[in-house]
Amino acid sequence: MNTTLTPTTRHTTPPHEAATRSVHAPARTLTIVDRAALHLGMALIRWGRRPGRELARHERIANAFELGLLERQREAERLRAEQDHVHALTYAVGRVR
């Protein structure tokens, strides 16, 4: 038999067990700028989530829909007036002959 078996013990250390640094960088203290930035960020989040915006967005959608309806009504009225005008002209020409 010419088969070789691998040894049962591991001779190398796995990468996660390799030499790790036990010394961490010192913790950074919070400054007044950090606190101001945090408060500004929180204020911006609160401002962006204010309840009036959702209603305004809904109203904008409704207004856009209503404007579309109004535009279609105006176009229909314009076409009807144009047809009435053409009909009146053909009737007037017919009466003259």
pLDDT tens column, 35-83? 999 999 999 999 988 876 666 777 778 888 899 999 999 999 999 999 9
Which residue type sits at 33?
Answer: V
Which residue type sits at 11?
Answer: H
What is this structure's pTM?
Answer: 0.38
CA angle 77, 82, 85 (to 5 degrees): 125
Grade residue 91 by pLDDT with cuts at 50, 70 and 90. confident
